[in-house]
Amino acid sequence: MSLLSAHGLTRRFGGLVAVDDVSLEVFEGTILALIGPNGAGKSTLFNLLTAFDRPNAGTVVFDGRDLAGMPPHRVVRLGLARTFQNTQLFEEMTALENVLTGAHTQTRTGWARAALRLPGTGREERLAREEAQRLLRLVGLAEVAHVHASDLPHGTRRLLEVARALASRPRLLLLDEPAAGLNNAETEQLARVLRQLRDGGVTLVVVEHDMGLVMDVSDEIVVLNEGRKIAEGPPLLIQKDPAVIAAYLGEEQLDA
């Protein structure tokens, strides 16, 4: 079943058409990779899919709901979470606190309840902390739970952002270049986490440059070039697609 479907998405910046009439379907329980040369419109499309940006034309429907006009924080509530190409962590918080903040939609304590420490707030906090610890273990960051985000190395920061996004218990998780700047060991850890998530029922959309990772984990690939979708299909077909090879020629070889 299609969990997310985009129809005719177009986004113009002045005279530039960054995303040009793109449609795609993300099926439940799969990993879809969004690839394309630099400037192909991947990040713009990504922002449209997560309601961080508004299309000039076209619609995004998540789980039967049209996201038009919906603020991004409400989209998270529906079960659609994201990470950022430039990590947007809370630097002054520890890794654990970052993940706890990610559980905002899963917890309920408001100002009045917190101010008076009404019964139930302590229990909710304790459960949230246990869940946050579990997510840190899942991405392999249990050791640095109490380290400030600003003190974490680059690769660790990306994994932390994944854990924070997972804390909202998303049905669909969109990752913007999660492997950028990761070393081999970290990339392998990431691939393992992604598969584990998919097998656990989380649907994934990944914008990625690392072709090894893309071919390794994705069930379906959508290729963008100059704002247009030029191909889609399973990894084995995409590798042989003449249009894809032409778009990437001189950019990068598609051998996994």
Partner 1 sequence: MSRLRTALPAVAVAAAVLALPLFVHDRYLLKVLSYVGIDVVVVLGLALLFGFAGQISLGQAAFFGIGAYTSGVLVAVHGWPWVAGVAAAVAASAAAGALLALPVGRLRGHYLAMATLGFSEIALVAFTELKGLTGGTDGLSGIPYPALGPFAARTPGANYVLVWGVAAVAYVVAANVVALRPGRALRALHGSENGAQACGIDVGRTKVVAFSAAAGLAGLGGALYAHLVGFISPGSFTLELSILLVAMIALGGMGSLPGAVLGAVLLGMLPYLDAVVPGLPKSAVEVLQSWEADIYGLVLILVMLFMPRGIAGALRRLRRERGGER
> Residues in the site for partner 1, rule: CB under 8 A?
52, 71-74, 76-77, 81-84, 88-93, 97, 100-102, 104-105, 107-111, 114-117, 121, 124-125, 128, 148, 164-165, 167-168
List all residues 6 or more positions away from 43 whose beta carbon is below 8 Å from its beta carbon. 85, 176, 207
To partner 1, the closest distance from the beta carbon of 23 in angstroms equals 25
Q: Which is nearer to partner 1, 3 or 51 (CB)?
A: 51
Q: Which is nearer to partner 1, 144 or 215 (CB)?
A: 144
To partner 1, the closest distance from the beta carbon of 157 in angstroms equals 12
To partner 1, the closest distance from the beta carbon of 118 in angstroms equals 10
Q: Which is nearer to partner 1, 8 or 110 (CB)?
A: 110
Q: Which is nearer to partner 1, 19 or 166 (CB)?
A: 166
Q: Which is nearer to partner 1, 23 or 109 (CB)?
A: 109
List Cα–Cα distances, 171 to 77, 92, 200, 209, in angstroms.
Answer: 10, 29, 10, 24
Dihedral (Cα; 238, 244, 250, 252), 10-degree rounding:
-30
Which three-class secondary structure state does DSSP give residue 255?
coil
Strand ranges (E), 102-235: 172-176, 203-207, 220-225, 228-233
> CA-CA distance, 221 to 229, in Å (whole number)?
11
To partner 1, the closest distance from the beta carbon of 240 in angstroms equals 36
To partner 1, the closest distance from the beta carbon of 73 in angstroms equals 5
To partner 1, the closest distance from the beta carbon of 255 in angstroms equals 34
Half-sphere exposure of 155 (CA within 13 A, CB side): 14
Q: Which is nearer to partner 1, 84 or 248 (CB)?
A: 84
Sheet holding 16-27, edge to edge: 16-27, 2-13, 57-62, 65-66
At 165, the amino acid letter reads A
